[in-house]
Every structure is written in structure tokens, then in C-alpha cells.
Structure 1
Amino acid sequence: MLIVLLAVVFAAVELLPGDAASASAERGESAADLAERRHLLGLDRPVWERFIDWMTALPTGDLGTSARGQKVTELLADPLPNTLVLALSAFVITVVLSLLLGCSAAARPGRLTDRAISHTTTAAFAVPEFVISAALLLVLSLWTGWLPAVTVTGDDGGPATWTMLIMPVIALVIPQTGWNTRVVRGALADQASAPHVEAAHLDGLPLHRILISHQLPGAVPAIATGIATSTGLLFGGAVVVETLFNYPGIGNVLAAAVTARDTPLIAGVVICAGAVISLVLLAADLIRHATLGVRA
């Protein structure tokens, strides 16, 4: 799947107007200068040839050289950990909130709490990250001055203070919590009609005990799969959020690379994000199989 995705990336950049040579051209450069730069960058070779060369070097950890002559691995050495911190923080908070809200809604289906959570989470998922980010900047930075509007990079290459993480994390958490709460609620609703759950109701067990001890274990495979599949949306949202908050992550690197038509750098970002998403999906599959094995 990653190989197909990377092939699409190479082809898509090739179809964009211009190339890395023209994007980095200075005013007054001649056609001969551009042709020489294209030759140095290998842009005069077929795209499939460049793709095969890049893929051949990938198993050794070589992500190629950017259009500006720097190793892609060096360019991603600082931004990637910053993005992982941002994404992991948002992921953990999303999982906790989704479980709490989903369980609260499923505890009394059809009641006021269930309807309120359902409508709120639907609205939260429908609002794009850039709208949430703009609202957060307006309220928490411009109006109140509680939080810094942009991220300042410290000596270690990360945010200078932890408070600079708050708004980017919130901007990612809100839509993801909206989606995953509905996943949790739906998975618990599917378990509500299971024979062992109905038997627990007939035995007169408390609702919270039935929910936690009987419905939730059976819903874990569906919840794990749903949360894992939303990881791609989380990384996609991180690109927008990092750009708006000037966060020093791979989102900013990707935006600059697309502008510069820097194919190796774009592919490097994609392979890093794709590897993380694949690992999360693998973990979800392992959890699902382990849970189903225990139930069997």
C-alpha cells in the first residue's frame, strides 16, 4: 500500500505545473541555467526511473536528497519528533474523551445526554481543523491573550514552552473526538443486544457495571479499528494545524516542499507518516485479534 501511495506522490508532483528547478530559479536566470539545474537534480530523467532509484535506496534508510542539496533524513530529524509529540498528545486525549463520551451516551440510549452528545459530536466532526484553529486563535490569543498565537522554536528545535502545544492539540482533538465518540457509541449499541448483555439486565446488574464489564469488552475490536483508521485524518489535520500555528513539524515541511516541487522531500514526509499510520493499524489488528481470541 505504501509503495502504491509513493508512486502516486511521484506522479502527482510530476503533473503539477513547474518543477523543483523552476521553483528555485532566481530572477533573470537563463534557459541554459535552468536546464543545467534540471540535469543536476535528475529532472531530465523519466519519473519512473527516479521513483525506482528512490525506492531502491529506501531499505537502507536513505530518503534521498532534497532539491536544495540537503539529505531528507536530516531535514526531517527535528520536525518529525515534534509532529509525533503533537499527534500522540492529540491521539491519547482523543481516545480518553471518546471513551468517556461514548460510554456516557450509551449508558442511557435515547435520553437527553445521548442526544446532546450525538448532536455535539456530529457538529464537532463536521467543522474543519482550520476553522477550529482560527476560532482558537481569535478567542485564546487575540481576545484574551492567554496563549501565544504562534509557536516559537526553542534551542532543541521544538516548541519553546509546553503552552504552545495547547491550541494545536485542541484543534486536532475536537474533530477527532467527534468522529471517534460516534464510533464508540455505535460499537456499544451493537453489543447492547448481545445475549450476555440482555441476561445481565435480567439479573438486575447496575447499568454502569453492564456497560463496563459486558458491553465494552465486546466493543473493543470495533473501537480499536475505528480509532486506528482515524489516524490518517489526524496526520492530515496536523498539516493544516502546524501551518496555521507555525508549529515546527512535518506539516510545515510538507507545505514548503509542495511549493518547491521537492519530490524526494514530499516522499520522505509521506513515508514517515505512512509508516506511523501502518504501525497504528497493525496495533489495532493485534488488539482486535487478541480480544476475539480471548472471547473465543
Structure 2
Amino acid sequence: MRLATLLGKRILMLVVLLAVVFAAIELLPGDAASATSERGEGAAGLAARRHLLGLDRPLWERFSDWITALPSGDLGTSAHGEQVTDMLADPLPNTIVLGATAFVLTVVLALALGIWAAARPRGVVDRTVDLTSTAAFALPEFVVSIGLLLVLSLWTGWLPAATVTGGDGAPTSWTMLVMPVLALTIPQTGWNTRIVRAALADQAATPHVEAAHLDGLPLRRVLLRHALPGAWPAIATGIATSTGMLLGGTVVVETLFNYPGIGTVLAGSVADRDTPVIAAVVTCAAALITVVLLLADLVRARTLGART
């Protein structure tokens, strides 16, 4: 029942978010017909294009038709006449590979650094990790991307500056993933390292962890067997939050590195005022974030249940 309630709330939030997306695009100057029109097209041609795209219909009616078709997998038709499902078929897996790699790397690095710092409280390592993680989180993805481009591509030539795709629409070499993954990973590693360190510090003050110290257990065992399980709810929440930040960062990173993902599709769709494509990308991102948030909720519920 708890899971069903949470899922129902997430779905309701998604519907409200999509309604806001439709309304926000409607408020932007211009529309999909004028943005995708041929050069020199007259008023009659624009009117015909608006009718073809359904832009002469009320906003609520367009949104209702789109949202009711969504459960069947129909994401609508773009302003260029393409099926949105077909448009996302190639870039979506590329974004999943990029985001999943950055996500796993973020989790591994944050846990390692956070535990390392917690094992040496108020020492040189702890202060260094704290300072470095704060600086990393403060850097936006585009700043990290530019720095990586300068160092790893322009100055050293170690990695390609742009992504080249093959016939299947995927990058032709794994080396083209390195800088986009790092650009997403570095800020989120800083964020999650601080969360892991703070969660372990809170657990260090609990009676059962203090008792483990007094019993003379090795520090590593105290951290991994006694402190870390109690810190999982806070860590899981931070990781779930990072999912949204990672997906938001892909728009900037994919554009800078010419990476063939949905971030690039989204950037072009905003310029074209292409509402169905924008809403479809938001839906894909929201669905993924919803799954991660549900997993985080389950981790918290299981941990709290084990305590009681």
C-alpha cells in the first residue's frame, strides 16, 4: 500500500509537471509553426502549418490528447512530422549509457571518499576531502566541461574534443565518453561525498556505534558494519537527488561535446518550440527519476523497519 501510494503521488506530480511544460512553451515567443517554417513563407502558409500541427486548438485540448495517448506509448508527432518515439529511439540509449556510467562512478567515488574521510575525523584527509568536495560541487557542469576540454584535448591531445557517431548513432570509440562522464561525475561526487561524510558523522554519535568503539572493534568494521547501515537512508536520498541533477547536466554536457543524446534533441526542440518532443524527453527523465526515488524510499523504509 505504501509503495502504491508513493507511485500514485509520483504519477500525479508527473502529470502536473507535463501540464506546466505545455503551458510554459505556450508562453514563449513564437510557436512551432513559425520556428520550423520555410524562409519567406507567407501568412497563409503559416496558418496552414499551425492547423496541421494543431496549434489552432486550445492548449488544454492538445495536452489532453497527448497525455491520454501516453500510456499506449504514443509520444506524439514532432513539428517536423516525425514520430517522437522514432526520434528518441537512438539518442535515448546513448544518454542512458552516459548517465548510468556517471551515476555508478559517482556512487563508488562518493562512498570511497566519504568513508575514507570518516575514518580520519578532523585529520588532514578529512579536511582535504571536505575542501575538495565542496569545490567540486560548486563547479557547474559547463565549467568542468570547458576545463576538461582545455586540459585533456586542446593542451595534451589525449582525448577527442567532440563525439563522432557511427552508423548506429552511437559514439565510435569509448574514449569519446570519458570527458562527458567526468563532466557529470565531478560535481555530483562532491555533493554526495559531503552527504556520505555527514551521514557517517551523525551515526558516529549514536549509542550503538559508540559502544562498538568502546568494545575495541577495528575502525573499518565499525564504519562498515555499524555506522554505514544507519547512514543509508540519508545517502540514498542524496543519490536519488543526484539522478535529477545528472539528467539536467546532460543537456549542457551533450551539447558541448556534440554527444548524440536526448539532451541534444531537447536543446533543438526548445529552439523549435516543439512541445511533443520536449514533453516526451521530460517524461523519460521523470520516469527514470521516479524509479530511483522509489528505490530510495524503499531503502529508507527498510532501514527504519529494521531499527524498529
1:17-60 superposed Cα distances (whole Å, 9 cap, x missing partner): 00001001222211111011001000011111100110010111
Q: Does 1:25 align with 2:37?
A: yes
- RMSD over aligned Cα, in angstroms? 0.8
Shift of 1:291: 2.6
Shift of 1:209: 1.4
SS in 2 for 1:159: coil
Q: Does 1:85 align with 2:103?
A: no
Aligned residue in 1 for 2:53: 41
Q: Mean Cα displacement is larger for which, 258-267 or 21-30? A: 21-30
Aligned residue in 1 for 2:289: 277
Aligned residue in 2 for 1:73: 85
In structure 1, runs of 5+ residues without a counterpart are: none
Q: Give runs of aligned pairs for residues 1-296 of structure 1, distance below 5 A.
A: 1-296=13-308
> d(CA) in 1 for partners of 2:298 and 2:83?
35
> d(CA) in 2 for partners of 1:165 and 1:28?
41
> d(CA) in 2 for partners of 1:238 and 1:28?
35
Shift of 1:295: 3.3
> d(CA) in 1 for partners of 2:122 and 2:162?
42
State the one-letter code of the partner of 1:141.
S
Runs of 4+ in 1 over 6 A off after TM superposition: none
> d(CA) in 2 for partners of 1:79 and 1:236?
15
> d(CA) in 2 for partners of 1:222 and 1:271?
26
Shift of 1:13: 0.5
Shift of 1:201: 1.2
State the one-letter code of the partner of 1:210.
V
Aligned residue in 1 for 2:5: none
% identity of equivalent residues: 74
Q: Mean Cα displacement is larger for which, 57-66 or 286-295? A: 286-295
State the one-letter code of the partner of 1:52.
S
In structure 2, runs of 5+ residues without a counterpart are: 1-12
Shift of 1:230: 1.6
State the one-letter code of the partner of 2:148.
L
1:209-244 superposed Cα distances (whole Å, 9 cap, x missing partner): 111111001111111111111210010001100000
TM-score if structure 2 supplies the norm length?
A: 0.95
> d(CA) in 1 for partners of 2:41 and 2:274?
19
TM-score if structure 1 supplies the norm length?
A: 0.98
Shift of 1:109: 1.5
Shift of 1:292: 2.6
State the one-letter code of the partner of 1:88.
A
> d(CA) in 2 for partners of 1:155 and 1:146?
25
> d(CA) in 1 for partners of 2:62 and 2:121?
56
How many corresponding residue pairs? 296
State the one-letter code of the partner of 1:83.
T
SS in 2 for 1:230: helix
